[in-house]
Amino acid sequence: MKIRRTVIIIFVAILISGFCYSQQEQPMGELLKEGLSLFKAGEYSGAIEKFDLVIKTENSKEIIPAKLLKGKVLKKSGKREEAKTILSDILKISENNEYRDEASIDLAELYLSEKQYYEAALELLRVVEETKSQEYLVDAQGYLENIIIDHLEPDNVDSLTAKAINERTYPFLLLAFGKKLDSMGETKRAKDKYFKVIERYPESAEHKYAVKYYAGEVPDSLKIKEQVCVVGVILPLKDGEDIGSVTAREILEGIKYATDEYN
């Protein structure tokens, strides 16, 4: 699963162009813009050079967007470990910097590309818990729910829930966990999760959906498809020279009888 977002390079470009630089600061802004242009043109090494020049300065206002853009270049050029390192640095700089959401989404995408689903889920959980942007919230919740349902084991979902600290996150995780259990055919356990949302979080956005799921209104996409068992049997064509196989006919009749009797 690849994360597709509307808030990527264009978002960063808008932020860069929106900075109010003094005469002394202008060169750093120009370096960021030049690096971004090189990145968009596919000239990754040149872009990294521009961003590195900004990162080496002491101006923290420009270091963070430069690191984010460098992380994107490294990710795009396949240097995943380097990209993870620099994107993780952004999360350590400040809990209030405006680039945390984008850095976490990029990290999640890197982990997804390596099928490290739990690590990707942790990054998306960070966005769900911290973001002030409705757009980021909706995107992160959608991708996180897909990972929970399609890729995580129930124990992993329990672990993820234990790491949540924001009150608005619990009903979302409980509902997603219920959907996961429904997709596994574990209806009773799923209903337990839905009931917790109904009972504990009546004001949450997830409440009305929990009521529907608890009542059994589960979409077809979450229901276990009826399994079809295909039996293959190798039968002898002949019992001897030029003699049709009596044994084969008897076995075939037995299979037909069993199929009719027990299905």
Q: Comparing C-alpha atoms, which of 202, 147, 139, 205 is closest to residue 179?
A: 147
Mean pLDDT by 10 residues, the chain (263 residues): 51 47 60 92 94 83 91 95 96 82 96 97 96 94 96 96 90 97 95 96 95 82 46 61 59 61 44
User: Are residues 198 and 207 in contact, defined by beta-carbon separation less than 8 angstroms?
Assistant: yes
Write down the pLDDT at residue 2: 58
Assign domain 1-116 to its CATH superfamily: Tetratricopeptide repeat domain (1.25.40.10)
Report the phi/psi class of residue 2: left, alpha or beta, with left for phi > 0 and alpha for psi in -120 to 50.
Answer: beta
DSSP, collapsed to helix, strand or coil, labels residue 196 as helix
pLDDT digits (tens, 9 = 90+) for 206-250: 999 999 999 987 665 544 343 445 556 666 655 555 555 666 666
Write down the pLDDT at residue 20: 43
Write down the pLDDT at residue 10: 41
Dist. CA 170–CA 164, nearest whole Å:
7
Write down the pLDDT at residue 61: 80
Dist. CA 78–CA 71, nearest whole Å:
11
User: Are residues 151 and 180 in contact, defined by beta-carbon separation less than 8 angstroms?
Assistant: no
Write down the pLDDT at residue 19: 47
Continuous segment of H or E residues that includes residue 190? helix 187-200
pTM of the model: 0.73
